[in-house]
Amino acid sequence: MMTSNKPYIIRAFYEWILDNNVTPYIAIDATLPYVEVPEQYISEGKIILNLLPSAIHNLNLGNEWISFSTRFNGVSVDINAPIGSIIAIYARENGHGIEFPAEALTENPFVKEEDVKSTKKDASPFSVVSNDCKDEPKKPSAKKSTTKKTTKKPSLTIVE
């Protein structure tokens, strides 16, 4: 069984966003267990964080966790989030990026991946998003679609 490709995609988008001189933001589902973020900045169960290198310290985009230090109103805060809690990474200026479904950790965050049984082996765990609006970034939607989804192959939009 192969490991998740989600952390690799997050790292690739992070690098791509920085290479294009725009600000990388991540959205985290703060309702999931083991997410350590300042609660006063959570809105609708989510928190949006700036990952610009000048705004953070000790960034670790690992395969299981994302962690870094940042400041909120001058107070240093350590951020720790399981990869499964990352629901989007995108550019603040134009909204280009990618969304992911939230994936809660098992009760023990140190359980090996091969010990966890997947219920959706063939399902794609993410979708590609592109927002051509230059004024506001695309924010992850909390609304669930009530229409029946059709099965389509994933597609990727190339942005030049």
Tally of CB atoms within 10 A around 43 = 9
Q: Where are the strands (E) in the chain, listed by range?
A: 24-29, 46-50, 56-61, 65-72, 75-82, 86-91, 97-99, 127-129
Summarised one tens digit per residue, pLDDT across range 86-109 is 999 999 999 999 999 888 776 555
Summarised one tens digit per residue, pLDDT across range 34-61 is 999 999 999 999 999 999 999 999 999 9
Model pLDDT, residue 122: 46
120 versus 29: which is more confidently predicted?
29
Are 70 and 55 in contact by the 8 Å Cβ rule? The answer is yes
- Taking the C-alpha atoms of residue 158 and residue 2, their distance in angstroms, rounded to an integer, is 26
Model pLDDT, residue 65: 95
Q: Does 22 score more than 70 pLDDT?
A: yes
Q: What is the DSSP string of 71-113?
A: EETTEEEEEEEEGGGEEEEEETTT--EEE----PPPSSTTS-G
Are 84 and 32 in contact by the 8 Å Cβ rule? The answer is yes
Q: Which domains does the chain have, with CATH numbers?
A: 6-109+122-129 (2.30.30.220)
Is this structure's pTM higher than 0.85? no
Summarised one tens digit per residue, pLDDT across range 108-143 is 555 555 554 444 444 445 555 555 444 444 444 444
